[in-house]
Structure 1
Amino acid sequence: MDYIHLNEMAFYGYHGALKEETVLGQRFRASVSLAVDLAEAGLTDDLKKTVNYAEVFDVCRSVVEGQPRKLIESVAEEIARLVMEKFSTQVKGVRVVLIKPDPPIAGHYASVSVDITRGQFV
């Protein structure tokens, strides 16, 4: 299995369980990995034989910058679902890591995140 990785895409969204998160919003970072067969694309140098990662970026942006959700688990799930749906002929599996760098939690930490995998991802 081969992989395409989109690393630490940055977005601004309004997700969170607390009211201030849905009013003020905050930064989010998403990393998405796609399990695909890249052999033919590599041999032919043909964009039609791979997944256009600009389109994957657009899917991620539409979800993270879109409808507010209470849970980042829900945001990650929606990204995975849409990627698997839109690129169903090429993508065999998807891994989504959604990072919330600044949740309103008292204390010192780098971030909180969820990491989900859907489909075949070896």
Structure 2
Amino acid sequence: MAEAYTGDRIILKDLGFYGYHGLMLEEKALGQRFFIDLECGVDLSAPATTDHFGHTVSYADIYDVVKAAFEDRRMHLIEAVGQNIIDAIFAAFRDVNWIIIRVRKPEAPIAMVRGEAAIELHRQRKQ
């Protein structure tokens, strides 16, 4: 399984969003910060050799899809937030073969002084 997540990738890290995802009433009413790290498996050999924009997936376009999917609807679980983003990326970019996403919640409603709660999903495009 690990072999599937090798090779070229586009990486977006520490994308910050404010959202209302969560189970607790306070989370739904007040919202909180979320951070997303994302790796998208894409063959980058053509843009690497041609230096031509038309031969790659734009990381700016990926960001736009992530932002729209994050803000699309409120969810209880960050696992569902992550899957919603994955589904949107696969739908928007046919050249993305696999995705690793980490959704981090630094103000999770647990008694921690420092740190964050997070999930990480690994998904391959279904054939």
**TM bracket (short chain):** over 0.9
Question: Gaps (5+ residues) in structure 1?
Answer: none
TM-score, normalising length: structure 1 = 0.92
Over the aligned positions, Cα root-mean-square deviation in angstroms equals 1.1
Identity rate, percent: 34
Deviation beyond 4 Å, 4+ runs, structure 1? none
Task: Determine if the alignment matches structure 1 residue 25 to structure 2 residue 31.
Answer: yes
How far is 1:60 from its partner? 1.2
Native 8 Å contact 2:69 2:88 kept in 1: no
Task: Determine if the alignment matches structure 1 residue 68 to structure 2 residue 74.
Answer: yes
Question: How many pairs were matched up?
Answer: 119
1:29-49 CA-to-partner distances (Å, cap 9, x unmatched) read 001101111010111111121
Question: Gaps (5+ residues) in structure 2?
Answer: 1-6
1:14 matched residue in structure 2:
20
Query: Which of residues 77, 101, 104 is equivalent to 2:106?
Result: 101
How far is 1:105 from its partner? 0.9
Query: Which of residues 5, 11, 21 is equivalent to 2:11?
Result: 5
1:12-31 CA-to-partner distances (Å, cap 9, x unmatched) read 00000011101100000001
Farther off after superposition, 5-14 or 63-72: 63-72
